[in-house]
A and B are shown apart, each in its own frame.
Chain A
Amino acid sequence: GENVEQHPSTLSVQEGDSAVIKCTYSDSASNYFPWYKQELGKRPQLIIDIRSNVGEKKDQRIAVTLNKTAKHFSLHITETQPEDSAVYFCAAGSGGSNYKLTFGKGTLLTVNP
């Protein structure tokens, strides 16, 4: 089955700096890569996603890049703000009609004012 590795497990940056979180996946059949932000005690919230036919996608301060050959994808947050502090999870989707998401272990991002 699919295995998703996520690094780093914790990341601390100064407000205004950029943050990068990286994930690798094992199943070449995976074709969908969402990123979720989870604040303490709340549900994972989808913040951006990318499909395997695209190499990069951007939404304001957030961007995701995908390298299918190397089987890795990354989340980039620019101009970080204290409210960006949360746990971020990457996931890989596969399965055709039996679709499921396999998640990474998460990255605790702390943005220091």
Chain B
Amino acid sequence: EPEVTQTPSHQVTQMGQEVILRCVPISNHLYFYWYRQILGQKVEFLVSFYNNEISEKSEIFDDQFSVERPDGSNFTLKIRSTKLEDSAMYFCASTRQGGNQPQHFGDGTRLSIL
């Protein structure tokens, strides 16, 4: 069964540095999502993306965050100037259609900000 894949599995970065998290959605999917989970807490929505545009974003997704689909397969999340509180697991998901479709998560990237 096709899966969402994410790289790297673990990223350690100095505070203030830029970081790019990568996701390869399932190949025929058109809707893409990023979520984060701070250790021991619930999963939180960050952003949804369709047709090369952000569809929806949460309050967490401020000006330091951006998303991009640079080619036909990758979907990236960039944090421009990382803060300590950005330390979390970041999960990518994709769906073929929009709306109430099952969202299957990738294995996530653990981001540690020092």
Contacts and interface: CB of A to CB of B under 8 A. Distances in A.
A102 B45 contact: yes
B103 A101 contact: yes
A100 interface: yes
Interface stretch (A12-20, A41-49, A55-63, A66-74): A41-49
Contacts of B37: 44
Contacts of B35: 101
Contacts of B42: 89, 103-106
B55 A93 contact: no
Contacts of A96: 98-99
Contact of B102 (A31, A49, A98, A102): A49
A7 interface: no
B98 A103 contact: no
Interface in A79-100: 89, 91, 93, 95-100
B45 A43 contact: no
A99 B102 CA distance: 11
Interface residues of A, number: 26
Contacts of B43: 36, 44, 89, 91, 101, 103
Contacts of A44: 37, 43, 91, 105
Interface residues of B, number: 26
Interface string B73-114: 000000000000000000100000011111111111000000
B56 interface: yes
Given A97-B55, A98-B55, A31 B100 contact: yes
Nearest to A32: B100
Given A43-B91, A43-B108, A44-B105, A99 B99 contact: yes
A46 B104 contact: yes
A97 B99 CA distance: 6
B57 to A, nearest CB: 9
Given A43-B105, A44-B91, A100-B56, A51 B100 contact: yes
A91 B42 CA distance: 10
Contact of A99 (B58, B98, B107): B98
